[in-house]
Amino acid sequence: MSQDGHQPGVDRASVFMLLLLLVGLVVAVVMIVAVALGWVMPSFWEVAPFAHAFVTAIMIAVWLLALGVTGLLAWTITRRRV
């Protein structure tokens, strides 16, 4: 423990930037997959009227999952070791 009471070796700003990077990468992958889905199967929107809501729900679920994994990663990195 350092003199200011913080554990050395863990820079919270770096951890925060790493988490932002991870979330950004996951969101980018989800968007690329969504665009690829629309490009590969353009008739998907016409065949299933609910498809837009379905894909949107999947994208939101993946985004929330990414946030959860990111939060778990943040907790693991920043937790205090006794």
Q: Which residue has the higher pLDDT, 2 or 43?
A: 43
The number of domains in the chain is: 1
Domain that holds residue 62: 24-78
Within a domain: 30: yes
- Which class for 70: exposed (0-12), middle (13-18), buried (19 or more C-beta within 10 A)? middle
Global pTM reads: 0.46
Within a domain: 17: no
pLDDT at 81: 59
Within a domain: 18: no
pLDDT at 23: 74
Give yes or no for a contact between 50 and 18, defined as CB atoms under 8 angstroms apart.
Answer: no
Distance separating alpha carbons of residues 42 and 21, to the nearest angstrom: 31
pLDDT at 22: 76
Distance separating alpha carbons of residues 69 and 63, to the nearest angstrom: 10
Within a domain: 44: yes
∠ CA 53-56-62, rounded to 5°: 140
Within a domain: 74: yes
Is 70 exceeded by the pLDDT of residue 1? no
Within a domain: 65: yes
Q: How confident is the model at residue 6 (pLDDT cuts 50, 70, 90)?
A: low
Within a domain: 61: yes
Give the mean model confidence (pLDDT) for residues 1-27.
66
Within a domain: 12: no
pLDDT in tens, 49-73: 666 777 777 777 777 777 777 777 7
